[in-house]
Amino acid sequence: MLSRIARNGLKARSSSIARTSRVTSLFSRQFATEGPSASQPKEVFTKLSDSKDPQRNQFFQYTWGSWLQNDKLKKQQRQTKFSIEGLSSFFHDLHIKENVKLSQPIEKDGLFILENNLTKETLGETSDKLVVKSIASIHEGKHHRIYKITLNTGKNLVLRIPYKLDSDNSISSKIKSEVATSDFLNLKLNLKVPKVLAYGTNKTNKLESPFILQEFIDGDLLMKKWHPLDPDSPESEENLKKVIVPIAKFQDDILNITFNQFGSLYFYNDVEPSLQSKLCYDNESNEEFKDRWRIGPSVEKVFTKDKNLLSSKVIDQYNGPWDASNPINLMESVSDIELENARNKLSLLESKSGGDIKESKEILQNQIKTFEHLKKITPSLINSHSKSIKNVEDLFKPRLYIPDLDPLNVIETPTNQYYFIDFENSTIKPFILNNYPNFIAYNGAKIYNLQEDIPDFDKMDPMEKQQYEFMYFKTRNERIWEMELNKNKHNLIAVASPHIKILRSPYLQALELKNPKDYLYIEGSIIQLQAMWESYVANELVNTKDSNFPIEYDENYLDNHQSQLSDYQLETISSPFNATGGWIPQDMFDTLKSQGIIVDEGNGNYKIETGKVLENPPSEEESK
C-alpha cells in the first residue's frame, strides 16, 4: 500500500509547479495586425493576411512540454493549424442578430452557426463589418489548443482547436455532443457556461479544421483557491469549501433532470432518424426545446481513447444509446469495447502489421484475460433493485455526467460569478456509475483522525508522517464533498457507501485506463470482491443469488497477479514522469536536459540518466 501512497504523494507535492507553469506561460505568443492601434506582439508577429510568413507556422506548434518517448510524433498530433484567412472571412460575413427564433444550428460553408448567440452581448456593437484585430495563443491544454480572438468591437472570443489524438469520426462526434451539451446547460438549465457561436466538426469549412468558437469569460481560474493539503483550521476548511461548494452546486443543478435513455446529448439533426422520435426527457413545456436535443451514441472517453485502430462501424456496435430500463447493457459495453480493442491489437501484432502498437503480446494477452473477467462479473456487480441500497431506483436513473468538473475548468469573474467550461466526453448514465470529480476523488485507505486511527503517529519520522497526512487530507476533502452531496441530493448519498464503492470499482477502474499495465488495477478490484461476495449476495447488494464467486482464481494466478502489481507499482514510483505519461513541462525539460538528467537518445526519444537526483516531478494534473 505504501508504494501507491508514495506515488500519490509525488503527485500532490508537484501540483504547485503545475499552477505556476501555466500562469507564467500565458500569452506566450501573439499574432496582431499592423498599425498604430495594434497591440504589441510578445514573441511572434505577422500580418493576418500574410499566409507565407515563415514565422506563422510557429503559431500552431505545440510548445507546452516534451515527452520522453515519441516526442516528435506526439507534438505532430498536437499541431493546431487552421486558416487565419478563413477565420477572418468568417467574421467578415457574420452579422449580429437580436431576438432571432430559436432553431437548429445553421450550416454554412461546412460549419455550423448558433444564430441565437450572435448578439451584441457576445460580439459587441459596430456599424461596420466584424474584423479580427488579433489572435493570441493563451493555453495548450491536454486535448485542445486555446486561442483568444479580439474583434474590432473590443469583444474577445475563444477558439478551441482539438488535437489529432482520436479518429476524425470521434472528434466530430465529440464536438457535436459537447456543443449540444453546452447549449442544453445554457438554455434548459440556465447555468453559467460560455455561449457557443459556431463550430466545425471536420476540415471542410473556412477554418480548415474542427473547432468550437465561444464566448471569452474574463476572470481567474478557481484553481487559484484550491489548496487541498492545507493543515486543518477553521480558515482552511472554509477555503476548501470556497472551491468545493460551487462545483457541488453545479453538479446538483445538472442532476435535477432525469432522461429517457443512456447515451450522450446531441442536437436533433445530429442523430440518426431512428433516434429522433424519442424525447430526451419528459414534461417539457417550452415548445422550442422539445425538438432541440436528442440522445445518441455515448462519447464517453472509453469509446474514443486509444481506439484509433477500430473502425467507426465497430465502435458503433458498443457505444449506445441504451434503454434506461437496462443499465447492465451500458456497463457491459465497457468490457466489450476493451476486449474488441485488445483482441484487434493482438491480431495485428501477430500478423506483423501492428507497427505502432505499444503493448507487447504478453500484455495484450493479459489484458484480454482481465477484460474477460470484467465481462463475466459485470452483470452481477450491483443489484439495481436491491432493497439494501437506499433509493436504488434514483441511483440508476439516467442523469447527465460531466467528467471534467474541476477547479481548472471553473472561471470566477470579477463579480464573483462562476462559469463552467469543458464538457467534452459528457454522457448520460446512472449516478451510481459516476466517479467523484478527479480533484476530489480518493480511492486509497481512509484516515479520519490521525491521532486515533494511526497508532504512534507522533513518533513516526517526517516522511512517514507526510504519507499518512496525505491520506488524511484526501479523506477530509472527499468527506466535505460528500457532505455537500448529502445536503443537495440526500436521495443519492448511498454512493458514499464503502460497499458501493467496492462493487463499482471494477467498472470505474476500466474507465480510467491510462497505461497498458493498468489492467492490473482492474483485476485487483475484481479480486477484492471475492472476500465479501457471500455477504454481498446475502444482503442482495449484487445482482445474483449464487454465493459462488463468478471468477475462478487459483493460488498461482493470485500470487502472480500480486507480484506483477507490486512490480508495476514500484516501476511507477521509480519513474518520476510516469503519472504524466512521460510528459514534462518545457521549462523543466530544458533545465533537466541542460543538467544532463535528461539525455537525448535520438529519434524523438529521451531517457532519465540513472543516478541523477530529481526533485518535484510534475503531476498528472499539470498535463491538463
Looking at residue 611, its pLDDT comes to 62
pLDDT tier for residue 571 given thresholds of 50, 70 and 90: confident
Residue keyed to cell 430526451 = 280
Could you tell me whether strands 220-221 and 410-412 are parallel, antiparallel, or unpaired per DSSP bridges? antiparallel
Indicate the average pLDDT of the chain. 89
pLDDT tier for residue 9 given thresholds of 50, 70 and 90: very low
Name the strand (E) or helix (H) holding 322: strand 322-323
Q: Which of 34-48, 218-232, 377-391 has the lowest mean pLDDT?
A: 34-48
- Find residue 606's DSSP bridge partners: 600
Q: What is the pLDDT of residues 156-181, one digit of tens each?
A: 999 999 999 999 999 999 999 999 99
Looking at residue 17, its pLDDT comes to 25
Looking at residue 25, its pLDDT comes to 27
pLDDT greater than 80 at residue 510: yes
Looking at residue 443, its pLDDT comes to 86
Ranges assigned E (strand) in 141-271: 144-151, 156-162, 196-200, 211-215, 220-221, 261-262, 264-267
Q: What is the pTM assigned to this prediction? A: 0.89
Name the strand (E) or helix (H) holding 366: helix 361-377
Residue 314: which of 349, 333, 340 has the closest Cα?
Answer: 340
Looking at residue 12, its pLDDT comes to 32
Distance in angstroms (rounded) separating the CA atoms of residues 112 and 295: 19
Residue pair 122/152 in contact by the 8 Å Cβ criterion: no
How many CB atoms are closer than 10 A to CB 514? 13
Q: Which of 99-103, 482-486, 497-501, 538-542 has the lowest mean pLDDT?
A: 99-103
Domain ranges (residues) in the chain: 1-19+582-624, 29-62+69-216, 234-263+298-574
Mean pLDDT for 392-404 is 97
Mean pLDDT for 308-328 is 95
Looking at residue 353, its pLDDT comes to 76
Give φ, ψ of 549 to 5 degrees. Answer: -65, 135
Q: What is the pLDDT of residues 433-479, one digit of tens each?
A: 999 999 999 988 899 999 999 999 999 999 999 999 999 999 999 99
Mean pLDDT for 578-602 is 90
Distance in angstroms (rounded) separating the CA atoms of residues 470 and 157: 40
Question: Is the backbone peptide bond immediately before 506 cis, with ω within 30 degrees of 0?
Answer: no
DSSP 447-507: -S-HHHHSTTGGGS-HHHHHHHHHHHHHHHHHHHHHHHHHHH-GGGGGGG-HHHHHHHHHH
Mean pLDDT for 285-304 is 97
How many CB atoms are closer than 10 A to CB 20? 13
pLDDT greater than 90 at residue 623: no
Looking at residue 47, its pLDDT comes to 62
Pairwise pLDDT comparison (574 vs 32), residue with the higher score = 574
The CATH number of domain 29-62+69-216 is 3.30.200.20: yes
Q: What is the pLDDT of residues 360-383, one digit of tens each?
A: 999 999 999 999 999 999 999 999
Looking at residue 534, its pLDDT comes to 97
- Find residue 296's DSSP bridge partners: 264
Mean pLDDT for 263-286 is 97
Looking at residue 100, its pLDDT comes to 87
Q: What is the pLDDT of residues 193-233, one digit of tens each?
A: 999 999 999 999 999 999 999 999 999 999 999 999 999 99
For the chain, percent of residues with pLDDT exceeding 70: 89
Contacts of 516 (CB under 8 A, 6+ apart): 358, 359, 363, 367
